Amino acid sequence: MAAKTKKTRKHLEQYEREMNMCIRCAYCFEKCPVIKEVQWDTDGARGKVIMSYGLLTGELEPSQYIADKLFRCTFCRDCLDRCPSKVNILHIIASARAEIVEAGFASDTHKYIIENIKKTGNIYGDTEVISQEQEGKIPLFIGCQYLGRPNKTKKYLKILEKLDIKPAVVKEICCGFPMEVLGFKDDYEKHKDNFKKHFPFKEAITLCPTCTVFLKEGHEIKAKHVLQIILEKLPKANLNMKVTYHDPCDFSRGLKIIEEPRKILEKLGVEIVEMKNNKENSRCCGGGGGILMTDQELSNDIAKKRIHEALETGVDTLVTSCPTCETTLKKAAQEIAESEGKTISVRSIEDIIWKGLQDAERS
Ligand code: SF4
Ligand code: SF4
Backbone angles phi, psi at 5, to 5 degrees: -80, 135
Look up the CATH number of domain 235-362.
Answer: 3.40.50.11810
pLDDT of residue 2: 41
Please determine whether the domains at 13-102 and 235-362 fall in the same fold group of CATH: no
pLDDT digits (tens, 9 = 90+) for 301-320: 999 999 999 999 999 999 99
Indicate whether 363 pLDDT > 80. Answer: no
Which protein residue's CA is at the shortest distance from atom 2 of ligand 2? 76
The answer to whether residue 128 scores a pLDDT higher than 90 is no
Confidence of residue 136 (pLDDT cuts 50, 70, 90): very high
Q: Mean of the per-residue pLDDT values for the chain?
A: 94
Does residue 353's CB lie within 6 angstroms of at least one atom of ligand 1?
no
The predicted structure's pLDDT at residue 4: 52
**pTM given for the model:** 0.94
Q: Which ligand is nearest to the CA of 52?
A: 1
- Tell me the pLDDT band of 5, cut-offs 50, 70 and 90: low
* CATH T-level assignment (fold) for domain 13-102: Fumarate Reductase Iron-sulfur Protein; Chain B, domain 2 (1.10.1060)
Phi, psi dihedral angles at 223 (to 5 degrees): -100, 135
Instruction: Inform me whether the pLDDT recorded for 190 exceeds 60.
Output: yes
- The residues that bridge with 206 in the sheet, in sequence order, are 141, 225
Give the pairing of strands 270-272 and 241-246: parallel
Ligand 1 centroid to residue 155 C-alpha, Å: 42
Most ligand 2 atoms within 8 A of CB, residue of 78, 83, 210, 250 to mutate: 78
HSE at residue 105, side-chain half, CA atoms within 13 A, is: 17
Q: 3-state secondary structure string, the chain?
A: CCCCCCCCCCCCHHHHHHHHCCCCCCHHHCCCHHHHHHCCHHHCHHHHHHHHHHHHHCCCCCCHHHHHHHCCCCCCCHHHHHCCCCCCHHHHHHHHHHHHHHCCCCCHHHHHHHHHHHHHCCCCCCCCCCCCCECCCCEEECCHHHHCCHHHHHHHHHHHHHCCCCCEECCCCCCCHHHHHCCCHHHHHHHHHHHHHHCCCCEEEECCHHHHHHHHHHHCCEEEEHHHHHHHHCCCCCCCEEEEEECCHHHHHHHCCCHHHHHHHHHCCEEECCCCCCHHHCCCCCCCCCHHHHCHHHHHHHHHHHHHHHHHCCCCEEEECCHHHHHHHHHHHHHHHHHHCCCCEEEEHHHHHHHHHHHHHHC
User: By C-alpha distance, which of 110, 130, 89, 124 is closest to 178?
Assistant: 110
Domain boundaries, the chain: 13-102, 109-230, 235-362
pLDDT score for 255: 95
Q: What are the two backbone dihedrals, phi and then psi, of residue 218, each rounded to the nearest 5 degrees?
A: -90, -30
Average pLDDT over every residue of 44-53? 97
| 336 touches ligand 1 (CB under 6 Å) | no
Report residue 126's pLDDT band, with 50, 70 and 90 as the boundaries. confident
What percent of the chain has pLDDT above 90? Answer: 91
